[in-house]
Structure 1
Amino acid sequence: MRIAYLITAYRDFDHLSRLIEKILTPETEIFVHIDAKIEYNLSIALKDNDRVHILEDRFLVTWGGFNLTLAFMALMSECRASGTYDQVFLISGADFPLVSNDEISAFVAANKDLIFLEYFEIPYAKWTGSNGGIDRYELEWPVDDIGKDTAEEYAWQQKEAGIRRAFPAGLKPYGGSCWWTMPSAVLEYLCDYFTDNFDWIYPYFRTVLLADEILIPTVIMNSPYKRKVINNNLRYIDWVTGPASPKILTMDDLPLLKASGCLFARKFIPAIDSEVIDQLEQSIMLT
């Protein structure tokens, strides 16, 4: 099975190196975007590996801004240019696998025509504080231009004044997790869609709050590929400490991680708990 991993990272580069080393096989290609504001260092073995591709074009990522979506687009474009894959996984540098590479390959072989994407219609009751997600796109949030706090104030001023905008015509809005798994054919469809429609996607979505959680679910669920979507992103993510960010996983979470049935989990920060990563790695080696 040919598998591609697209990774976005901005910290903990020892962990990133460990993650890449764990998922790198003769059948995988790995594409990495590193936040432009970060100086980084990966192991020499990874830098010299012709199956690990560090993107030269880097975006400065701010929480809530559109630049993360642009980073995703760049990763997808680079992946597409490299060939075709049975499945493409988008993960973060704070992920770690819960199963072995052989188990991932077996899963891909059994599901290579399916899309694994968490999705839901907007408004969504669990997106509290943003009118079920509607305020994310009906108000303008120029986070990349003026920062999160000032953008939030600007959005509040629009709301108070009753200034709103419509969602792009012909599309039903969907939200979901920004982490997904899809075949090359779907990735190619998205790349073409973004290229063909960039003249309106960029002006509109660059001021959508957390567009990474809306744009791709919306495009896929308004496409012929929606019939191939399984509403499961195959990631263990605990939003109990959210809604802005997921829980940092520790040894306390190990039983749930092992029983989750997921392929990956996040969010791991070694400085907070490295033992849970060690234990997961040992478990993978025993399978």
Structure 2
Amino acid sequence: MKIAYLVHSYREYDELVETIDQLIKQGDHVFIMINDNDLREQIHFVYAESSKVHISSIQEFAQEGDLSMARGTILQMREAVGIGFDYYINLTDGMIPIKSRNDIVSYLEENNNNFYYVDRSEKEDSELRKKTLKYYPMTNLLSFPTGKVSRGFSKANASIFNTFGLRRKIEDEILIGSPYFILKHKTAVLLVEHFDYVSDTFKLSWYAEEVYIPTMLKKFNADDHINDDCRVLGPSGKWIESQGADKVTEDIIEKYPNALFAAKILAEEDPGLYQNYFDIYNS
């Protein structure tokens, strides 16, 4: 089985190199967006002779919650499908495998499906459509609003714009769920073919990466999947809407024995745990 890992990271140099080295050790490829310009140049230099490491160049920078994350991921996917892989797996900053590669491959072969988690659609939650139709100023910038004040300002202005009729027009059913996925080749190709839909539909949106995968695959009649992102995400263990993956501990991970990946596992805070899971992955 050939796996393409679609990675977004702003880790320190040593941790980033270790992550890439471990993920490519068994022949898989890494497609990576690196936010820091100097670090990106360092990684370019280190892997200049490697055919398995692909550093994003069309869009070099991405941010959680912003359209740039959705666009950047599909651009990575577009490069990857040109090579051809069995599965495409996205990993956010600090997310690593917690099972051996053999176990992951066996699980994917046994189930032979896409994996992503859909929480709900607008049919169950009418507020979801209202939220998605709004235009949020201050998104699609180099500094997505992360502070409470700036986020409040962005949401307040989005409501004002909406009141005056400045809103996107989406006829498709809107769905929302975890931004993390494991997709088969045919599904990845479909998303790449409809790349323009992402930019046209979700410009100035709020956490586009939580909406574009389930909405697009529903729209294009390719939503057959197992409703599980296969991740342990933060202290709660599960995806939380409009909130990035948080730090996890071994105790939390042990509560989810079927998970394949976890985030965030940070080498600078728990180097033993970090290295232990990489040892498991390449065992």
Q: Structure 1 length as normaliser, TM-score?
A: 0.81
Amino acid at match of 1:68: M
Amino acid at match of 1:238: G
Match of 1:234 among 219, 225, 230: 230
How many angstroms apart in 2 are the aligned matches of 1:135 and 1:13?
A: 41
RMSD: 3.0
> What is the match of residue 50 of structure 2?
49
Q: Percent identity?
A: 17
Q: Which runs of structure 2 are paired with 1:165-180 in the superposition (5 Å)?
A: 165=167, 167-169=169-171, 171-180=172-181
How many angstroms apart in 2 are the aligned matches of 1:24 and 1:191?
A: 23
Q: Determine if contact 2:66/2:140 at 8 Å carries over to the other structure.
A: yes
- The structural deviation recorded for 1:59 is 3.8
- The structural deviation recorded for 1:66 is 0.9
- The structural deviation recorded for 1:181 is 0.6
Unaligned runs of 5+ in 1: none
Amino acid at match of 1:18: E
Amino acid at match of 1:255: E
How many angstroms apart in 2 are the aligned matches of 1:278 and 1:253?
A: 17
- The structural deviation recorded for 1:209 is 0.4
Unaligned runs of 5+ in 2: none
* Distance verdict in 2 for CA 1:39–1:24, change over 3 Å: closer
Amino acid at match of 2:246: K
> What is the match of residue 219 of structure 2?
222
Residue 246, structure 1, aligned to residue 245, structure 2: yes
> What is the match of residue 121 of structure 1?
120
Q: Note the alpha carbon deviations across 1:143-194, whole angstroms, 9 max, x for none.
A: 124852556414313425734535511x110011111011111111111122
- The structural deviation recorded for 1:29 is 2.0
* Distance verdict in 2 for CA 1:267–1:136, change over 3 Å: farther
- The structural deviation recorded for 1:267 is 1.0
Residue 8, structure 1, aligned to residue 5, structure 2: no
> What is the match of residue 141 of structure 1?
136
Match of 1:278 among 275, 279, 283: 275
How many angstroms apart in 1 are the aligned matches of 2:181 and 2:233?
A: 13
Q: Which runs of structure 2 are paired with 1:61-100 in the superposition (5 Å)?
A: 61-82=62-83, 84-100=84-100
3-state SS in 2 of match to 1:50 = coil
Range that drifts further, 87-96 or 16-25: 16-25
Q: Structure 2 length as normaliser, TM-score?
A: 0.82
Range that drifts further, 140-149 or 264-273: 140-149
